């Protein structure tokens, strides 16, 4: 585990998803993942990453969220884990609290502080979505493709698709 210093963070104007820039320590060993430009098939195995069953408390932060001061921070009760599940459905018009947002529903435990964590196919090193809501029995994630063409404010209005075409991020069809 490495502390991350977030320098920019922008929530999408209508989807329950955000994008940010973080400085990663040079000594960090990272697996390179790509964003999937495809729908997950029903029954596909997925991993959901996050901090299930963690509790929250306020703490000072030097990160500024759209001009705000401070963020919610995790307590020392942090359990970072991957949760295994399978895709139960795809809802292009949304599901549950994510009405109007293309969503995957899966069977991986999604309880506590899982929001913002990726759902991925580790074997292919592909990220398919970002967790938004759920319970012990299921989770709901926004389809990552929903933000490919969003013009990101702090990146001079480039989209993820633009950045992929320039070679800065990876987007691929499995």
Which CATH number covers residue 91? 2.40.10.10
Tokens of 167: 């070679």
Backbone angles phi, psi at 144, to 5 degrees: -60, -30
Cα dihedral sign for 38, 52, 75, 96? Answer: positive
CA-CA distances (angstroms) from residue 123 to 32, 77, 172? 12, 30, 14
pLDDT of residue 38: 92
Confidence (pLDDT) at 157:
84
In this structure, the dihedral spanned by the alpha carbons of residues 16, 18, 70 and 78, taken in order and rounded to 10 degrees, is 80
Per-residue pLDDT of the chain (174 residues; tens, 9 = 90+): 566 677 888 888 888 788 888 777 777 777 778 899 999 889 999 888 876 665 555 444 444 444 444 444 444 455 667 788 899 999 998 887 778 889 999 888 777 666 777 888 878 889 999 888 766 677 888 899 998 999 998 888 899 999 999 988 899 998
Residues spanned by the domain of 54: 5-172
What domain count does the chain have?
Answer: 1
Tokens of 58: 């306020």
Q: Are 19 and 144 in contact (CB under 8 A)?
A: no
Per the DSSP assignment, residues forming a β-bridge with 32 are none
Three-state secondary structure along the chain?
Answer: CCCCEEEEEEECCCCCCEEEEEECCCCCCCCCCEEECCCCCCCCEEEEEEEECCCEEEECCCCCCCCCCCEEEECCCCCCEEEEEEEEEEECCCCHHHCCCCEEEECCCCCEECCCCEEEECCCCEEEEEEEEECCCCEEEEEHHHHCCCCCHHHCCCCHHHHHHCCCCCEECC
């Amino acid at each position: 585990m490495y502390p991350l210093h977030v320098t920019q963070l922008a929530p999408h104007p209508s989807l329950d998803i955000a994008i940010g820039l973080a400085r990663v320590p040079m000594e960090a060993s990272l697996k390179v993942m790509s964003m999937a430009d495809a729908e997950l098939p029903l029954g596909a195995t997925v991993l959901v990453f996050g901090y299930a069953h963690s509790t929250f408390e306020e703490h000072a932060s030097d990160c500024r969220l759209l001009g705000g001061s401070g963020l919610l921070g995790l307590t020392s009760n942090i359990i970072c884990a991957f949760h295994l599940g399978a895709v139960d459905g795809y809802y292009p018009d949304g599901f549950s609290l994510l009405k109007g947002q293309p969503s995957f529903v899966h069977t991986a435990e999604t309880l506590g502080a899982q929001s913002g964590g990726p759902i991925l196919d580790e074997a292919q090193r592909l990220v398919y979505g970002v967790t938004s809501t759920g319970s012990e029995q299921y989770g709901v994630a926004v389809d990552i493709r929903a933000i490919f063409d969003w013009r990101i404010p702090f990146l001079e209005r480039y989209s993820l698709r633009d950045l992929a075409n320039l070679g800065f991020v990876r987007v691929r069809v499995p």
